[in-house]
Amino acid sequence: MSSAVPVGDQTPAPPRSRSTARLRRALNPWRLTALVIAALVTVAAVLGPLLIPFDPLTPAGEPFAPSGTGGHLLGTDSFGRDVAARLVYGLRTELLIALCATALAAVTGTVLGLLGGWFGRWVELVTMRVTDVVLAFPTIVFALLAVAIFGAGTTTLIVVLGVLFAPTYARLAYGQVLSVRRAEYVDAEIAFGSPTLRLLRRTVLPNILAPILVQLSLTIAAAVLLESGLSFLGLGVLPPEPSLGLMIADGQRYLGSEPGQLLVPAAAVVLTILAFGALGDTLRDWLDPRR
């Protein structure tokens, strides 16, 4: 009996090779450039204050000194403070608020969606209705209410952003749990008598993490935009603390004579948002094998 001769290589690629191939397809030149910008923004926020010798709160020269004068890389602002120092400290504040708010939203929203999707009935009713109540509030109205009650500041801003973004994670986790709970491996765990908490923590949660990880970078980009807007309106970081939103608000008054005071922080905000948005798109295409 003659053996069949295989046509081509029918051996499936290992998971690591498939993951690497998806990553290569996801990284087009635009996204690769955006990821480099995101890395540079992060490095500037972390190491910039160590490299710039000026205090962002103390005047260090004449008002509106040109770039390069007296060691001021980007010149000075209307109070004589170094613009580069305020920019990197503002980036640090921006990313710190965005990361803390994203972590708060991800943990809170994922827990609500996990519980509502798994237990259903009255637990689902309570958790999903809470998210609906939060979504019913316009962003600015919610921020004004929080500032009126707790006062403006960094802590208030983190909590406000965390609450505003939590419903996104709750609905995302809820939808993922509804599909995962019908899987055979979950039925097998239930049949073997696995405790509910262990089942949710070790089986359900790891299988819904991919879209949640993608949402993290998108939330960071949205939090940067929202924080800048709220600080611009005086509802976020309080002066004289450095913030990109405050720098834009100060710079708009001198747009005709000193356009750099507005354009530099505005460009930093735009590049940061685009970079982290591109990171989210890359993670989505990489972690979703259906693409």
pLDDT at 287: 67
Residue 73 lies inside a defined structural domain of this protein: yes
Q: In whole numbers, what is the pLDDT of the chain averaged over residues?
A: 84
Residue 38 lies inside a defined structural domain of this protein: yes
Residue 55 belongs to domain with CATH number = 1.10.3720.10
Residue 188 lies inside a defined structural domain of this protein: yes
pLDDT, one tens digit per residue, over 78-100 is 889 999 999 999 999 999 999 99
Largest interatomic CA distance in the chain: 94
- Give, in order, the Cα–Cα distances in Å from 168 to each of 114, 175, 186, 215, 283: 13, 11, 25, 9, 17
Residue 6 lies inside a defined structural domain of this protein: no
pLDDT at 26: 63
Q: Are 185 and 203 in contact (CB under 8 A)?
A: yes
pLDDT at 5: 47
Residue 96 lies inside a defined structural domain of this protein: yes
pLDDT, one tens digit per residue, over 151-200 is 878 888 899 999 999 999 999 999 989 888 887 888 888 888 778 888 88
* DSSP string covering 61-126: SSTTPPTTGGG-TT-B-TTS-BHHHHHHHHHHHHHHHHHHHHHHHHHHHHHHHHHHHHH-HHHHHH
Q: Are 50 and 41 in contact (CB under 8 A)?
A: no
Residue 11 lies inside a defined structural domain of this protein: no
Residues of the chain with pLDDT under 70: 1-19, 21-27, 287-291
Residue 1 lies inside a defined structural domain of this protein: no
Please list the alpha-helical segments (H only) found in 181-243.
Answer: 184-191, 196-199, 209-232
pLDDT at 14: 57
Residue 9 lies inside a defined structural domain of this protein: no
- Tell me how many domains the chain contains: 1
DSSP H or E stretch at residue 16: helix 15-26
pLDDT at 8: 45
Range of the domain at 150: 18-287
